Chain A
């Protein structure tokens, strides 16, 4: 069965620091990749997605992610974090067939940004 690993459970950064959150998946076929964010008290929101094409994808709020097929990775990056980026971040993979929709999520990484 497919799985998604997020290596960091909790990351603490100061404002203006750079961010990189790791995500690895185990599936050898075609994948659609996502990063979602859950701000405190709010619902999951889509940050960015990769389906095909340019492996460097840009999302909302200055986030980007790079798909490296050979490493089965889809790491999330932001050059300079803000206090408002404090949230939990989830990597997800869609591996079901074209006719159905199922996301497999990582366990999430909590990001705390210190002003």
Chain B
């Protein structure tokens, strides 16, 4: 099956610093990548959708200047949390999908997540 990795798996940072999280599709090319945020015992909330080579589309209520997303290649997307604050602490999960195939459903393959703790 398709594999998606995330790095780092855990990060602790001080308030006011910026943190970059990488999402890579290891054995397939991802035309589309998604970034989700998950609070403890809660559901996954979509933050943004990114297409390779173009600007990300952010969901309502998500600050694009706060959560910078770059999808520079077909195998890598990055999420940068700028000027992080304790309320940004969460579990961030990416997923990747190859939309070049015409199917009933093109599966999103999820990464293992990144636990961000802002002190």
Q: Do A and B bind each other?
A: no
